[in-house]
Amino acid sequence: MTFTAPKIDEKPASTIARAAPVPVQSGRPSAWRRLTSNSVASFGLALLAVIVLIALAAPILPLADPNITDVAHRLAPAFSAGHLLGTDQVGRDILARLIWGTRVSLAVGVAAALTAALIGSAIGLFAAFYGNIVDMLLMRGIDMLMAFPYLLLALAIVAALGPGLLNAMVAIIIVNIPFFARAVRGATLAVVRADFMAAARLSGLSDLEIVATELFPNVLPTIVITLSTTVGWMILETAGLSFLGLGAQPPQADLGGMLGDGRNLIQVAPHVATIPGVVILLLAIGINLVGDGLRDVLDPKLKSGGIARALAKTAAAPADERKRKLSSLPQPSTATVPLSLRSLETHFLIGEEVYRAVGGVDLEVKPGEAVGIVGESGSGKTVTALSILGLVATPPGRIVGGEIAHHGEDLVGAPLARLQAIRGNRIAYVFQDPLTTLNPLISIGEQIAEGIRRHQGLPRAEAMRRAVALLEAVRIPDAERRVGAYPHELSGGQRQRVGIAMALANDPEIIVADEPTTALDVTTQAQILRLLNELRRERGAALVFISHDVGVIAELCDTVNVMYGGRIVESGPVDAVLGAPRHPYTQRLLACVPELGRAERRIDPIPGLPPATNALPPGCAFAPRCHLADGKCSVGEIGLETIGEKHKVRCVHAELTAA
């Protein structure tokens, strides 16, 4: 075995920066900055800050004594002289009581939240880290606490300890411990399983160091998130206990206690109960807004508004805009061609960045032909495939240029109903991971049959009979019985057989298979590929096969398109392209692939990294990594030139690359 010396990454910094697929930024923007850049969270933060500052400033504010009664001026309405917010049933100044009461509520709520966080997190951490019997005992205890309706256990505790603010706080702490314990245990388990924990052990760190430097920093966000969501409840619940007369005892009043006092006066003096309620509401809104903002910052996965729902069909630019460039191209697609892509451009708009995932792809699929698309991640092969029937998620995807013609009919501009009539009927898909692409709650038979009913309008029973026949066709043993099975009851290979059966259900003209065997073991992969090929030949369906694996493409396809940086850089018959590649990228890609039985061959890595599609270099995207590159490679548009029979290559130095 021979290797060339590694010279990876030793390119000038400028090209690296341009080619880097990850945004180059040193350090992460501080959590604080990200929080305050969220306008809703900032509003919450400001609201909270005002309330907290006023509460903190209570001793220095020119307030009346909150506990001095003045029966003569009882139940004065708001804006009375000397009593901005009026007085209560014994003539105490409501404003003063409100501010002092807010102090109490805040202090109790925050203290309770922190204590519950400390105890609950410790339990969760211990349970997950030590596992087994410790986990079992601790978590069973937590389960028992959670077997009570939330507030009821708190009531029982207050009943035992007796009413009082401190006892109410203890009760609220105890009933909130389970939330922390569960959340932290879950987060800890996920971290304990992570490889970096094993790596830390291998680095010789002690248990204590591992917990302190590896485990805890990764669990901390969960603790903060849980804290931010529970502190609001805790303030509400302590207020609630005071409202019932079980928390703060007279003459001391927190917000809940004031509300309780005002409750019976609602008919004569509604302001006595309304005002403290408004303060609790504002406080809780502030806390919840900040909590949501914190969660977005600390756990992008949970981002509340951040998950965008994909529309039923990829958004597209208007036809005249899309087809502007097409007029200059020859041979408009005709009705005899099942599928023709011309200058297809699909972009993703993420924040301010435009990712040119597909940057002008031409592709033609003839009846019964097997067309391969090969490329590395980020090359645009999957987005090309999904664009065909408008399955690219919008947002952020958008087809901005070109056309996709199905027997001459432009699919990009087609209305959703028309697209739905073609999806799964004339053009069908087989996706990558059969575990995630099948609906876990619906039997495999129904998942096949629903497509048949939709397109052929068959009655339920008949569609199900067809589903059984299809399962037999994809060689699922005992299909009659297995038709009622659910995806989780099948092995990976069987699931992908179901995926193929679904694609074949309406005898499509074209099957688009997107890495259908990547998630499978090699022996299973071989069976599935054989099956897919046999069945589609039998039924005369054309195949568009997307893969990162040159070997799979070689085995299955008639023609192949090599993609790099969102464009096809070389295309032609499989034997020509893979046997005598002419684009430097294709040549060097093939030199990277270890081949069975040729261990003596040089593995010759390509230096550098594939380009990020939001920062594509001008001209040839491969130029920064190419040994042949010169000034000509980095200017203007480089066309796909024909160099042999149906063999095309997008390279200005194609004359230098012949073997």
**SS3 per residue for 293-361:** HHHHHHCHHHCCCCCCCCCCCCEECCHHHHCCHHHHCCCCCCCCCCEEEEEEEEEEEECCEEEEEEEEE
CB under 8 Å to 414, separation ≥6 — which residues? 422
Q: Nearer Cβ to another protein, position 76 or 279? A: 279
Candidates 119, 156, 211, 628: give the one binding another protein (CB under 8 A): 156
Residues 101-130 touching another protein, rule: CB under 8 A, are: 128, 130
Residues linked to residue 563 through DSSP beta bridges, in sequence order: 568
Q: What interhelical angle do 165-193 and 195-202 show, nearest 10?
A: 80
Q: Nearer Cβ to another protein, position 49 or 599? A: 599
Alpha-carbon distances, residue 161 vs 154, 246, 358, 523, 644 (angstroms): 10, 10, 68, 67, 91
Shortest separation between residue 618's beta carbon and another protein, angstroms: 22
Chain centroid, CA 8 distance in Å: 32
Alpha-carbon distances, residue 322 vs 51, 413, 589, 597 (angstroms): 54, 10, 32, 48
Q: Nearer Cβ to another protein, position 266 or 329? A: 266
Q: Are strands 647-649 and 353-365 parallel, antiparallel or unpaired?
A: unpaired
Sign of the C-alpha dihedral, residues 516, 522, 526, 531? negative
Helix (H, G, I), strand (E, B) or coil at 34: helix
Residues 182-201 touching another protein, rule: CB under 8 A, are: 189, 192-196, 198-201
Shortest separation between residue 160's beta carbon and another protein, angstroms: 4
Q: Nearer Cβ to another protein, position 64 or 156? A: 156
Q: Nearer Cβ to another protein, position 54 or 603? A: 603
- Assign residue 261 a region (left: φ > 0; alpha: ψ between -120 and 50; beta: otherwise): alpha
Candidates 60, 208, 307, 461: give the one binding another protein (CB under 8 A): 307
Q: Nearer Cβ to another protein, position 65 or 604? A: 604
Q: Nearer Cβ to another protein, position 46 or 326? A: 46
Q: Is 553 near another protein (CB under 8 A)?
A: yes
- For 655, the token pair is 């004359």
Segment interacting with another protein, rule: CB under 8 A, options 107-115, 118-126, 156-164, 637-645: 156-164
Residues 554-613 touching another protein, rule: CB under 8 A, are: 554-556, 575, 578-579, 588-589, 591-599, 603-607, 609-610
Candidates 69, 122, 486, 654: give the one binding another protein (CB under 8 A): 486
Chain centroid, CA 355 distance in Å: 17
Q: How far apart are the first and last CA of the chain?
A: 23
Helix (H, G, I), strand (E, B) or coil at 364: strand
Residues 399-418 touching another protein, rule: CB under 8 A, are: 416
Q: Distance between CA 505 and CA 498 in Å, rounded? A: 10
Residues 3-42 touching another protein, rule: CB under 8 A, are: 3-10, 13, 16, 20-28
Q: Nearer Cβ to another protein, position 205 or 326? A: 205
Residues 434-453 touching another protein, rule: CB under 8 A, are: 436-443, 450-451
Q: Nearer Cβ to another protein, position 35 or 275? A: 275
Residue 23, preceding peptide bond in cis (omega within 30° of 0): no
Segment interacting with another protein, rule: CB under 8 A, options 64-72, 273-281, 321-329, 631-639: 273-281
Q: Distance between CA 457 and CA 442 in Å, rounded? A: 20
- φ and ψ of 406, to 5 deg: -110, 105
Q: Nearer Cβ to another protein, position 323 or 569? A: 569
Residues 330-369 touching another protein, rule: CB under 8 A, are: none
Residues 286-305 touching another protein, rule: CB under 8 A, are: 287-289, 302, 304-305
| Binding residues for another protein, total number by CB under 8 A | 172
Q: Are strands 315-316 and 397-406 parallel, antiparallel or unpaired?
A: parallel
Segment interacting with another protein, rule: CB under 8 A, options 317-325, 326-334, 458-466, 486-494: 486-494
Q: Nearer Cβ to another protein, position 254 or 401? A: 254
Q: What contacts 24+ positions apart, CB below 8 Å, involve 572-581?
A: 572/644, 572/645, 572/646, 572/647, 572/648, 573/645, 573/646, 573/647, 574/372, 576/644, 576/645, 576/646, 576/647, 577/647, 578/550, 578/553, 578/554, 580/658, 580/659, 581/657
- For 558, the token pair is 């008639």
Task: Return the closest-CA partner of residue 534 out of 317, 370, 340, 326.
Answer: 370
Q: Is 489 near another protein (CB under 8 A)?
A: yes
Chain centroid, CA 244 distance in Å: 44
Alpha-carbon distances, residue 511 vs 217, 422, 449, 499, 532 (angstroms): 47, 12, 18, 11, 10
Q: Is 46 near another protein (CB under 8 A)?
A: no
Q: Is 285 near another protein (CB under 8 A)?
A: yes
Candidates 62, 162, 459, 631: give the one binding another protein (CB under 8 A): 162
- For 425, the token pair is 């009927």
Q: Nearer Cβ to another protein, position 425 or 559? A: 425
Q: Nearer Cβ to another protein, position 155 or 531? A: 155
Candidates 68, 152, 166, 469: give the one binding another protein (CB under 8 A): 152
Q: Distance between CA 178 and CA 161 in Å, rounded? A: 21
Candidates 108, 344, 502, 626: give the one binding another protein (CB under 8 A): 502
Shortest separation between residue 159's beta carbon and another protein, angstroms: 4
Candidates 29, 82, 270, 408: give the one binding another protein (CB under 8 A): 270
Shortest separation between residue 22's beta carbon and another protein, angstroms: 6
Candidates 57, 61, 71, 310: give the one binding another protein (CB under 8 A): 310
Shortest separation between residue 602's beta carbon and another protein, angstroms: 10
Q: Is 628 near another protein (CB under 8 A)?
A: no
Shortest separation between residue 3's beta carbon and another protein, angstroms: 4
Q: Is 617 near another protein (CB under 8 A)?
A: no
Q: Nearer Cβ to another protein, position 338 or 401? A: 338
Q: Nearer Cβ to another protein, position 343 or 570? A: 570
Residues 509-528 touching another protein, rule: CB under 8 A, are: 521-523, 525-526
Shortest separation between residue 210's beta carbon and another protein, angstroms: 10
Q: Distance between CA 66 and CA 97 in Å, rounded? A: 5
Q: Nearer Cβ to another protein, position 28 or 327? A: 28
Q: Is 481 near another protein (CB under 8 A)?
A: no
Segment interacting with another protein, rule: CB under 8 A, options 84-92, 151-159, 343-351, 635-643: 151-159
Q: Distance between CA 429 and CA 541 in Å, rounded? A: 12
